[in-house]
Amino acid sequence: TYLLVVQNSDELRATGGFISALGVITLEQGRLANLEFVDSYRLYHEDQSYPPAPPPMNQFMNIPYLLFRDANWSPDFPTTATLLRAIYRQETGVTVDGIVTVDLHALELIVGALAPLPMANAPEALTGANVVDFVKDMWAQPEEGETITEVGLGQWWGQRKNFIPALAEALMAKLRSGRIDYIAVAMAAEQALNERAIQIWLADETAAAQLARLGWDGGLQVRKGADYLSLIDTNMGYNKANAVIERSLAYSVTWPTAPTEPAVATVTITYRHPLTLPNHDCDLTPRYGDDYDDLVERCFFNYVRLYVPNGSRLLSTAGLQEDSVNTTRGEDGTQIFAGYFVLPPGETTHVRVQYQLPATLTPETYQLLIQRQAGSGPLPLQVTVGDGQLRTTLHNNTLLWSVP
């Protein structure tokens, strides 16, 4: 038995997005025997005990304990998958053999490779270009054809994710038909894996090690002896603002004049909310709107984490709420600098974090590995290390760079 975890990257979480639903995959002799989808909100029982939520989720979202839908707090997917597996076992008594994540970008890639994809209730055949819009429309107006305001919140809530199993069945039917471009499908799957739109964790240690070597397990890719940087955003606003949020990152390293002093690193992240909504109130109250766009047209409540090399020491921050700034040990021997901010529509903000790097990093052997967060989209980068400079956009999982 395997879990297919559906993540909505418009509400960004550490491993790619809010866990909207999960598919339970049953295989018999290597063949698909059953695929059943469950709304992630259904995995909750009042009589169960759950692990405590990470302090930031408790502080800024008023979430006291960690349910399945919020359990992808760690950006290291093997760590998150282990927790998801434990919670699912507690809820159902079933121990799964593996967990696979998919996000909206993965859906675009796979549907694009299979297009045109016929599907009931779709006004036209689905393609990579229109499938996300179709999903949003079906969420707001389920297959019965009635909106939230027409049927009431309760009835709509129970129907809002009915499109997921229907879409999965349309995909499986197209695959079973044999009328597909197998090379295009394989290339789309490989691109999704390389870009962390799909991540795979397996309980089998040998298979898991092979996935890790390929970089397809969603794990942190810390490299011994190298500088490391990963920007992790967590949308804490109960909304889909990440659908429009624009991000870019500038990173600089200044070498000391004295050989015994550590280098100083400065990270500046620019966040832009491009929508114009005059007199908009930044209300954190969890609520649905009349349609999907209403969830997008809201303030961006963001908890930002920087994963950096172990031994780094925080010097200063700007652009974060002062009482939210903290530093903790991270997964895979990393150090985390973190904090919280709120970005209203129509505004731009800059988050700046300055810290000392470990003394083991020197100009003579310097390498930098930057890892992009799953689900976060392409990340424009500007890197300055001493006299070396790099401008690029990171699409894949990682970038390894040495100063020329």
H or E segment to which residue 169 belongs:
helix 163-177
Domain-embedded: residue 320: yes
**320 and 368 housed in the same domain:** yes
Per-residue pLDDT of the chain (404 residues), as tens digits, is: 999 999 999 999 999 999 999 999 998 888 888 889 999 999 988 888 999 999 999 999 999 999 999 999 999 999 999 999 999 999 999 999 999 999 999 999 999 999 999 988 888 999 999 999 999 988 877 655 555 555 555 565 556 678 888 899 999 999 889 899 999 999 999 999 999 999 999 999 999 999 999 999 999 999 999 999 999 999 999 999 999 999 999 999 999 998 788 999 999 999 999 999 999 999 999 988 888 999 999 999 999 999 999 999 999 999 999 999 999 999 999 999 999 999 999 999 999 999 999 999 999 999 999 999 999 999 999 999 999 999 999 999 999 999 88
Domain-embedded: residue 259: yes
Domain-embedded: residue 222: no
Give the residue carrying structure tokens 């810290």: 355
**19 and 156 housed in the same domain:** yes
Given 214, 241, 266, the domain boundary residue is: 214
Contact of 3 with 56, CB cutoff 8 Å: no
Domain-embedded: residue 221: no
**Which pLDDT does position 361 carry in this prediction?**
95
The domain spanning residue 300 has which CATH number? 2.60.40
Instruction: Count up the domains in the chain and report the number.
Output: 2
3-class DSSP assignment, residue 2: strand
For residue 7, which of 240, 212, 204 has the smallest C-alpha distance?
A: 240
Contacts of 224 (CB under 8 A, 6+ apart): none
**184 and 322 housed in the same domain:** no
**Which pLDDT does position 140 carry in this prediction?**
77
Instruction: Pull the structure tokens for residue 15.
Output: 């491993």
**Which pLDDT does position 366 carry in this prediction?**
96
Domain-embedded: residue 44: yes
How far, in Å, CA of 187 to CA of 67, rounded? 35
Domain-embedded: residue 128: yes
For 131, the domain range is: 2-214
Given 193, 214, 235, the domain boundary residue is: 214
**209 and 233 housed in the same domain:** no
Contact of 369 with 238, CB cutoff 8 Å: no
Given 214, 249, 278, the domain boundary residue is: 214
**Which pLDDT does position 259 carry in this prediction?**
77
**Phi and psi torsions of 401, nearest 5°:** -135, 135
How far, in Å, CA of 334 to CA of 82, rounded? 19
